[in-house]
C-alpha cells in the first residue's frame, strides 16, 4: 500500500496540545508556582514562531513546543498537509501535576478541560479533544465526567499511578463512569506519564530506579530515564487487568480504551497470560470470580487500541501474536520523539503483512477509538 492510498484518511490517536504560557498560568492558578515547566515554556514561546509548513515533509518535521500549531486553525491546516483525517489531541505531558489529591488540583484540571473544549470547538471535528479526569475522589470525578461529556469532550485521559480513590477501577463505585463513557461513545485513555513521573509519585515507586548520572534527553520536549521507559507499561497492565478480569468490558461491551505511547511489544504476551489466568483461576475453579463470556484477549481485540512508538517493530508483533485489531497509528505530534516520518516507518514495517493490516492500522482501528471518521 502506498502513502497515496491512505493520505487524507489517516486516523491519529496520539497527539498533544501545547498551551501558551499565559494560558497555562491561568489554568494552573495557585499551582503555577509548583510547575517546573512554566518558566521553560515562557522562554520557548519568547522565540519568534516559524511559518506554517507547506509541504508534507516539512509538516512532519515541525516538532517541539514551537511547532506552529498553537491556534486551532493552524493545527487543522497542518493536519491536511500531513494527510490526517482526524486526530486525538491530549494534554501535553507534564499535566500529571493535575492528578493529585487536593481541591486546587481538581479545580485546575477542570480549567484545563474548559480550555480544551473551547480549543476543540474552534478546531472543529478534525481534532478530538481529550480532557483530564482526576479520579482521586469518586463524587467529584463523576460530576466532572458528566459535565465535560455533556459539553462534548471527545476522550478522557486517566491516571494509573495509584488505585482511583483507593478503589479498583472495577469497583461498583466506578460503574457510573464506565456507563457514562459507553453511553456517550467516548473512550478513556492512558498515556505515558499516567503512571507517574520518575522523581514524583509514580508506578512503580521511583525509588526502585537505579542511580544514573542524570536523566537523558529524548527529543526536545521530554526528559525520561531508562527506568521509566522500561517500566511504563506496568501501570496500564495493572489498570487494564482490573477492568478485564473485573468484568467491566463484559458489562459495557461498547466501552473503548486507549493505551498511548506506552510501547506495545508487551500487549500480545500479556494478553496470552491473561487468557491463561482467566482459564486457570476462573469461576470453574473459583466460583466467586467474575464470569467472563469471552477470553481476555477477545475483550482487548474488541475494545482496546494501543499506539506503538515508531521505533517498535509492530509488524513483528502482529505476525507473532495476532491482535491486529489492537494496534493503531499514533504520531505523538508535535513531540520530537514521534519521529520525522512515522507514517513512512510504519508503512515499511507493516507492508509485508498486506494491505488489509495497513488499512486497519492507519484507518479503521483508530476510527474504532475515534468514531465518525469518513
CATH code for position 46: 3.20.20.140
The pLDDT value recorded for residue 222 is 44
- Considering the domain boundaries, does residue 374 fall inside one? no
- Considering the domain boundaries, does residue 341 fall inside one? yes
The pLDDT value recorded for residue 197 is 54
- Considering the domain boundaries, does residue 268 fall inside one? yes
The pLDDT value recorded for residue 220 is 41
Instruction: Give, in order, the Cα–Cα distances in Å from 94 to each of 16, 38, 75, 220.
Output: 11, 10, 21, 14
The pLDDT value recorded for residue 218 is 43
The pLDDT value recorded for residue 331 is 96
Residue 354 CB partners (closer than 8 Å, separation 6+): none
Spans in the chain with pLDDT lower than 70: 1, 34-36, 64-69, 93-94, 196-202, 212-225, 283-289, 373-374
- Considering the domain boundaries, does residue 9 fall inside one? yes
pTM of the model: 0.92
**Nearest to 164, CA basis, from 198, 188, 197, 186:** 188
The pLDDT value recorded for residue 201 is 57
- Considering the domain boundaries, does residue 356 fall inside one? yes
- Considering the domain boundaries, does residue 263 fall inside one? yes
- Considering the domain boundaries, does residue 219 fall inside one? yes
The DSSP call for residue 16 is E
- DSSP, collapsed to helix, strand or coil, labels residue 46 as coil
Q: How many domains does the chain have?
A: 1
- Considering the domain boundaries, does residue 86 fall inside one? yes
Q: How far apart are CA 203 and CA 224, in angstroms?
A: 14
* Half-sphere exposure in the Cβ direction for 50 (13 Å, CA): 15
373 within 8 A of 365, measured Cβ to Cβ: no
The bridge status of strand 188-191 relative to strand 216-218 is unpaired
Residue 213: which domain range? 3-369
The pLDDT value recorded for residue 374 is 40
Going through 112-203 in order, the beta strands assigned E by DSSP cover 127-132, 155-157, 188-191
Amino acid at each position: 500500500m502506498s502513502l497515496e492510498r491512505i493520505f487524507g484518511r489517516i486516523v491519529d490517536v496520539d497527539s498533544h496540545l501545547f498551551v501558551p504560557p499565559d494560558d497555562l498560568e491561568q489554568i494552573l492558578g495557585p499551582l503555577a508556582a509548583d510547575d517546573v515547566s512554566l518558566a521553560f515554556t515562557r522562554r520557548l514561546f519568547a522565540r519568534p514562531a516559524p511559518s506554517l509548513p507547506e509541504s508534507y515533509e516539512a509538516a512532519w518535521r515541525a516538532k517541539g513546543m514551537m511547532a506552529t500549531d498553537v491556534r486551532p486553525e493552524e493545527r487543522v491546516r497542518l493536519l491536511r498537509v500531513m494527510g490526517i483525517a482526524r486526530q486525538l489531541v491530549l494534554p501535553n505531558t507534564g499535566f500529571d501535576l493535575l492528578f493529585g489529591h487536593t481541591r486546587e488540583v481538581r479545580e485546575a484540571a477542570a480549567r484545563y478541560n474548559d480550555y480544551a473544549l473551547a480549543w476543540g470547538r474552534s478546531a472543529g471535528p478534525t481534532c478530538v479533544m481529550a480532557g483530564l479526569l482526576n479520579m482521586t475522589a469518586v463524587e467529584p470525578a463523576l460530576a466532572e465526567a458528566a459535565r465535560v461529556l455533556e459539553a462534548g469532550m471527545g476522550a478522557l485521559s486517566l491516571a494509573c499511578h495509584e488505585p482511583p480513590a483507593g478503589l479498583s477501577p472495577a469497583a461498583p463505585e466506578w460503574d457510573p463512569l464506565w456507563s457514562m463513557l459507553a453511553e456517550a461513545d467516548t473512550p478513556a485513555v492512558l498515556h505515558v506519564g499516567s503512571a507517574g513521573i520518575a522523581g514524583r509519585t509514580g508506578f512503580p515507586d521511583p525509588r526502585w530506579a537505579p542511580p544514573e548520572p542524570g536523566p537523558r534527553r529524548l527529543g526536545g520536549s521530554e526528559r525520561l530515564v531508562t527506568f521509566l521507559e522500561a517500566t511504563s507499561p506496568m501501570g496500564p497492565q495493572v489498570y487494564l487487568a482490573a477492568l478485564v478480569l473485573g468484568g467491566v468490558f463484559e458489562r459495557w461491551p461498547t466501552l473503548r480504551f486507549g493505551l498511548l505511547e506506552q510501547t506495545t511489544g508487551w500487549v500480545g504476551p500479556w494478553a496470552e497470560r491473561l487468557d491463561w489466568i482467566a482459564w486457570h483461576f476462573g469461576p470453574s475453579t473459583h466460583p466467586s470470580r467474575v464470569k467472563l463470556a469471552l477470553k481476555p484477549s477477545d475483550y482487548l481485540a474488541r475494545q482496546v487500541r494501543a499506539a506503538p512508538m515508531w521505533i517498535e517493530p509492530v509488524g513483528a508483533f502482529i505476525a507473532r501474536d495476532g491482535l491486529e485489531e489492537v494496534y493503531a497509528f499514533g504520531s505523538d505530534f508535535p513531540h520530537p520523539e514521534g519521529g520525522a516520518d512515522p507514517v513512512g516507518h510504519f508503512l515499511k514495517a507493516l507492508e509485508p503483512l498486506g494491505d488489509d493490516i495497513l488499512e486497519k492500522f492507519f484507518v479503521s482501528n483508530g476510527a474504532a477509538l475515534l468514531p465518525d471518521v469518513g
